[in-house]
């Protein structure tokens, strides 16, 4: 059965993008979900990465001149559309897709020609797995407080430090690593480097979190990289990180919306099938109103996400406000919708292996990574203060 598009479909996206959404969801349901299910918990599923590439999704992240299939860099709307559609069918496939982009975009945007030629075609083809290595044990939300250091050594750098909660670690083939090159604290003095996963001194281990994705710790013990591994300018690496996150942040909201859509669809079907108190659950006013509330919140979250994506692609103003609002509102809303879906299903949704049990574990993390919800509120508050006090 062809999976549905959301109703109502956002008017800003149009019919062509509705067809694209259905196409990606169908691929996720008929092909990718089974490949994802066969993977090893907490480790990179290379067959899934290859399948995403072979079916054209990963190449669509990158320009043709670098081994991809686009005329230019991926649009924020397309990124959101694919992430939402995949999340509705397979959260594992969605994460594998998104992490190829997040890990590789610092190289694409800021790497030298030889570095880009070495890694981006390999990532686009699914032959190399990329990772975005920013977070450290002592610096999560305060992303600028890095202790990993890179020091000059002849014609290159030696990197020493630990990164943790890194998607695709410790199995990645290349890491976009952010390390301090000068200064003691804050975002100034941070530089970015592309570090091969097989470089001498790179070690790590997987972490087993609430949701079984490939996430781990990676350590750099005096790892040497040449001058050509530098991404952008020395001491300007924090800008590289922020430019990448700015592109991907609204699409984290899309990931959350996709999970909420899956939970809502499951609940729509369940309340018609399940009978209690003399009729279908849907006939109970409290249930019908709960569904109505879920639908309104889901639609609101989706519109917030795509408003941010459209604004990013058009280069409009207030992007920081829109991007943070999209991530904060969508991830918080999705958590509530999945929780409501579990409540309406009852105990059956708590059984290990039930789709909603899976979503219940999955939906929690996006409220934390790539800027926790509280951090997004701080960004929004600062933007409001700028507007109120423009001087």
- For residues 186 and 51, membership in a common domain is answered with no
Catalytic residue chosen out of the listed positions 84, 136, 332, 370: 370
Q: Is residue 158 part of a domain?
A: yes
Same domain? 39 vs 20: yes
Q: Are residues 215 and 244 in the same domain?
A: no
- Mark whether 370 is an active-site residue: yes
85 and 202: one domain? no
- My answer on whether 134 and 116 are in the same domain is no
Q: Look up the pTM and report it.
A: 0.96
What CATH number is given to the structural domain containing 213? 2.40.110.10
Q: How far apart are CA 306 and CA 197, in angstroms?
A: 35
- The candidate with the shortest Cα–Cα distance to 110, out of 190, 229, 224, 249, is 229
| Rounded Cα distance, 343 and 63, in Å | 44
CATH assignment of the domain containing 49: 1.10.540.10
Q: Residue length, the chain?
A: 391
CA torsion, ordered 144, 364, 258, 74, to nearest 10 deg: 10
| pLDDT for residue 186 | 76
Mean pLDDT of 9-13: 96
Instruction: Provide the token pair at 312.
Output: 């990013």
Instruction: Give the mean pLDDT of 254-266.
Output: 98
Range of the domain at 49: 14-124
Residue 166 belongs to some domain of the structure: yes
Report pLDDT for 21: 98
The pLDDT value recorded for residue 143 is 74
Our measurement of the distance from residue 366's CA atom to the centroid of its chain's CA atoms, rounded to an integer in Å, reads: 8
Q: What's the mean pLDDT in 250-272?
A: 98
Number of structural domains in the chain: 3
Mean pLDDT of 239-246: 94
């Amino acid at each position: 059965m062809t999976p549905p598009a959301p109703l109502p479909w956002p008017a800003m996206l149009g019919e062509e993008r509705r067809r694209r959404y259905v196409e990606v969801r169908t691929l996720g349901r008929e092909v990718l979900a089974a490949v994802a299910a066969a993977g090893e918990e907490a480790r990179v599923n290379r067959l899934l990465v290859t399948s995403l590439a072979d079916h054209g999704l990963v190449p669509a992240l990158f320009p043709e001149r670098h081994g991809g299939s686009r005329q230019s860099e991926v649009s924020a709307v397309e990124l959101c559309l694919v992430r939402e559609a995949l999340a509705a069918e397979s959260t594992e496939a969605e994460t594998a897709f998104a992490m190829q982009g997040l890990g590789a975009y610092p190289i694409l945007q800021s790497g030298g020609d030889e570095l880009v030629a070495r890694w981006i075609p390999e990532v686009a083809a699914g032959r190399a797995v990329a990772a975005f290595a920013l977070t450290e044990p002592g610096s999560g939300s305060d992303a600028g407080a890095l202790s990993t250091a890179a020091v000059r050594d002849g014609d290159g750098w030696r990197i020493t430090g630990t990164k943790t909660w890194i998607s695709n670690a410790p199995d990645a083939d290349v890491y976009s690593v952010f390390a301090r090159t000068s200064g003691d604290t804050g975002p100034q003095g941070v530089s970015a480097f592309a570090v091969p996963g097989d470089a001498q001194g790179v070690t790590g281990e997987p972490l087993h979190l609430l949701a079984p994705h490939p996430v781990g710790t990676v350590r750099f013990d005096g790892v040497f990289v040449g001058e050509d591994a530098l991404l952008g300018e020395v001491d300007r690496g924090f800008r590289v990180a922020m430019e990448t996150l700015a592109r991907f942040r609204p699409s984290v909201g899309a990931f959350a919306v996709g999970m909420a859509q899956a939970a809502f669809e499951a609940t729509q079907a369940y309340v018609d099938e399940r009978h209690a108190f003399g009729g279908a659950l849907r006939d109970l006013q409290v249930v019908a109103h709960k569904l109505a509330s879920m639908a309104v919140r889901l639609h609101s979250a989706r519109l917030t996400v795509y408003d941010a994506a459209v604004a990013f692609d058009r280069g409009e103003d207030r992007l920081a406000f829109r991007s943070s609002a999209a991530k904060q509102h969508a991830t918080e809303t999705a958590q509530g919708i999945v929780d409501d879906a579990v409540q309406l299903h009852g105990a059956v949704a708590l059984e290990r292996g039930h789709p909603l049990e899976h979503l219940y574990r999955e939906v929690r993390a996006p409220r934390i990574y790539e800027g926790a919800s509280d951090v997004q509120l701080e960004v929004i508050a600062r933007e409001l203060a700028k507007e109120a006090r423009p001087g």
